[in-house]
Amino acid sequence: MACVMRLLGLLFVLVCSLSLPLPSFHSVVATGQREFDYFVLALLWPGTICQATHHCCSSNACCRSNPLPEFTIHGLWTDYNDGSWPACCSHSDFDIKKITSLLPTLEKYWPSLYCSSSSLCFGGKGLFWAHEKHGTCSYPIIQDEYSYFSTALGLYFKNNMTEVLNNAGILATNGEKYPLGDVVATIKRAFGATPLLVCKHGSLEELRLCFYKDYKPRDCVTGSDILNGMPHSRNSCPRYITLPTYAPLGLADSSKMALEAFDALTVA
C-alpha cells in the first residue's frame, strides 16, 4: 500500500502496514532509505480535532461519553534533520497478538480521532494501529512491535504536557486565548527543548516533542525552519491560540470495539 506524503502543517496520514519483527528492518537499507536522525512524539489536542470530525465520530474516540481531557498520541515518528523522513520501510504483516497487553492503554491514550483511520478501518480487517507506518523505520533503536508502542507510551507518560500546561494556568476552555510564546516557553521549560506546535483556525491541533536516539530531549526542526529561518511554531499558529473543548455525542465505545475486533481476529 502506497504511503501518502505529508504536507507541512498538516497531519500525517496513517496508511501503511506496521511490522517490526527483526528481519523486516533490513528493508530500510534495501529501499534506499538511510537511518533516521531523531524521534518525534506527535500529540493531538482532541478539542480541536473532534470539532472537525464529529460527523463521523461513531467510528472514532470523539464520540465517547466523556470528552477526552488531555493530549492523545498521534504517533512516534522518525525524521531526518533536513525536514524529510523515512516511511513504509516494511510491508510485512502486522501481528496484533504482540501488543495484546497494550490494547486498553492504546485505546485510552492513542485512539483514532479521524474519520479515515478508525479503530475498525479497512472493512474491519484490523485495528488502526496496524497502519502506523513510522515504526517500521525505527530500526536499529527499536526492533519489534511491542517495543515501538511501549516506547511511545513511555515517552508520553514521562512528558505529561497536559499537566505541564495546566500547572501554568493554560487550561482547556472555549474562548480563552493564550500567548503562543507563553505556551512554547512553558513546554520548553518543562521538557528541556523547543517543541513544534501546529494549529488550525487559531486552535492548537498538534504538539511535537523531539528526541535524540537515546530519548533525550532535543529541539525540533523542519525543512522550512532550515530553509526560511522561520521561528518554531510561527508557520501555522497565530500570536494567540486556544485549547478548545468539545461536546461528545456519546455514541461510540472505542475500547469495546477494539477488543471485539481483536477477539474476532484471534478466533479467525
Tell me the CATH number at 139. 3.90.730.10
Domain residues for the domain of 125 are 22-267
Residue 203 lies in a domain: yes
Q: Is-contact 155 217, C-beta < 8 A? A: no
- Known catalytic membership, residue 74: yes
Out of 74, 131, 145, 232, which one is annotated catalytic? 74
Higher-pLDDT residue of 92, 45: 45
Give the pLDDT score at 144.
87
**Whole-number Å distance between alpha carbons of 222 and 205:** 17
Q: Is residue 184 part of a domain?
A: yes
Given the residues 54, 107, 131, 134, the one annotated as active site: 134
Region of 66 (left: φ > 0; alpha: ψ -120 to 50; beta: rest) is beta
Question: Looking at residue 26, what is its pLDDT?
Answer: 43
What does the pLDDT read at residue 196?
A: 95
Higher model confidence: residue 262 or residue 188?
Answer: 188
Query: Is residue 4 assigned to a domain?
Result: no
146, pLDDT greater than 70 = yes
Please indicate, yes or no, if residue 122 is contained in any of the structural domains.
yes
User: Higher pLDDT residue, 243 or 226?
Assistant: 243
Instruction: Read off the C-alpha cell for 209.
Output: 516533542
2 within a domain of the structure (yes/no): no
Report yes or no on 1 lying in a domain: no
Q: Answer whether 176's CB lies under 8 Å from 183's CB.
A: no
Per-residue pLDDT at 6 exceeds 70: no
The set of cell numbers assigned to 151 is 516506547
**Mean pLDDT, range 219-237, rounded to an integer:** 57
Cβ contact 251:63 at 8 Å = yes
The residues, any chain, with a CB within 8 Å of residue 127's CB and separated by 6 or more, are 96, 103, 119, 120, 121, 258, 261, 262
Q: Answer whether residue 17 is part of any domain.
A: no
Residue 177 lies in a domain: yes
Catalytic site includes residue 70: no
Model confidence band, residue 27 (pLDDT cutoffs 50, 70, 90): very low
Residue whose cell numbers read 488531555: 70
Q: Give 16's pLDDT tier (boundaries 50, 70, 90).
A: very low
Query: Worst-scoring range by mean pLDDT, 37-51, 74-88, 253-267?
Result: 253-267
Residue 131: what residue type? H
Copy the grid coordinates of residue 93. Answer: 504483516
132 classed as catalytic: yes
* Catalytic-labelled residue, pool 107, 132, 145, 205: 132
Please state, for a pLDDT cut of 90, what percent of the chain lies above it.
43
Total domain count, the chain = 1
Is pLDDT larger for residue 208 or for residue 246?
A: 208
Neighbours of 185 (CB within 10 A): 13
> Which of these ranges, 105-119, 138-152, 180-194, 223-237, has the smallest mean pLDDT?
223-237
